[in-house]
């Protein structure tokens, strides 16, 4: 009697494992690779035939000749996709306040003549800690520094910012944004 109950249960387990654990994931992966090849491959940014990053995960930039990303909350390695998380620090937490002060000091030290208010995303991490984008205001805040260090006219850097600004999704959702990696790669391509 026990084997009459166990055999159908094990058979169903095996069939469902093959269907939901193998067949379905392979089917969906195949459809994704055909319908959305770049996204299915990780939205990689390719330069000179080599992957230099992903459109979906931020990278750390600290050289003054580059636009800086939002700070990452992942530790010990910044922008680590495996450790994706926010800092979970409350607004009165001394560690958050110290981090914001340190980031503001780094921005000021890189461009002491800049007296504009610092956009909040340049001193605070996103909820995932991996945000690859900044607002146009955050890019404009850094434009004079990048132009000065690279010896470029500020207008040319601002035009590059404008050309890399992505609007709201369907004109309604989200905020205008700029992918920092793509903007910095475009800067490197300027002569």
For 12-52, write each residue's pLDDT tens digit: 999 999 999 999 999 999 999 999 988 888 888 888 888 88
pLDDT band at 119 (very low <50, low <70, confident <90, very high): very high
Residue of higher predicted confidence among 125 and 115: 115
Residue 148 has pLDDT above 80, yes or no: yes
The number of domains in the chain is 2
Per the CB < 8 A criterion, the answer to whether 86 and 125 are in contact is yes
Higher pLDDT, 53 or 187: 187
Question: Is residue 27 domain-shared with residue 106, that is, in the same domain?
Answer: no
Domain limits for position 108? 43-189
- Given a cut of 80, is residue 117 above it in pLDDT? yes
Residue with tokens 């998380």: 85
Angle among Cα 80, 177, 140 to the nearest 5 degrees reads 105
The predicted structure's pLDDT at residue 74: 78
74 and 127 share one domain: yes
**Residues 13, 74 share a domain:** no
48 lies in the same domain as 132: yes
Record the pTM. 0.79
Residue 130's pLDDT band (cuts 50, 70, 90): confident
Percent of the chain with pLDDT strictly greater than 90: 56
Residue 1 has pLDDT above 70, yes or no: no
Same domain, 65 and 152: yes
Yes or no: say if 176 and 166 are a contact pair by the CB < 8 Å rule.
Answer: yes
99 with 84, same domain? yes
Task: State mean pLDDT over 77-95.
Answer: 79
Query: What integer pLDDT is reported at residue 191 of this predicted model?
Result: 61
Cis peptide before 154 (omega within 30 of 0): no
Tell me how far apart the alpha carbons of residues 122 and 104 are, in angstroms, rounded to a whole number.
8
Per-residue confidence (pLDDT) for residue 56, from 0 to 100: 86
What letter does residue 81 receive in the DSSP assignment? G
Cα gap 5→123, rounded to integer Å:
61
Task: Name the average pLDDT for the chain.
Answer: 89
């Amino acid at each position: 009697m026990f084997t009459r109950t166990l055999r159908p249960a094990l058979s169903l387990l095996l069939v469902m494992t093959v269907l939901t654990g193998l067949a379905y994931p392979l089917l969906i992966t195949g459809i994704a690779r055909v319908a959305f090849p770049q996204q299915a491959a990780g939205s990689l940014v390719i330069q000179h035939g080599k992957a230099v990053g992903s459109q979906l995960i931020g990278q750390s930039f600290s050289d003054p000749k580059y636009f800086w990303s939002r700070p990452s909350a992942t530790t010990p390695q910044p922008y680590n996709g495996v450790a994706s998380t926010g800092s979970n620090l409350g607004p009165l937490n001394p560690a958050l306040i110290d981090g914001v002060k340190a980031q503001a000091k780094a921005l000021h030290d890189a461009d002491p003549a800049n007296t504009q208010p610092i956009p909040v995303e340049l001193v605070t991490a996103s909820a995932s800690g991996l945000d690859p984008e900044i607002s146009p205001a955050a890019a404009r805040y850094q434009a004079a520094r990048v132009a000065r260090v690279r010896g470029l006219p500020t207008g040319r850097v601002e035009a590059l910012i404008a050309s890399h600004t992505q609007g709201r999704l369907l004109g309604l959702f989200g905020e205008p944004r700029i992918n920092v990696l793509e903007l910095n790669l475009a800067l490197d391509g300027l002569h």
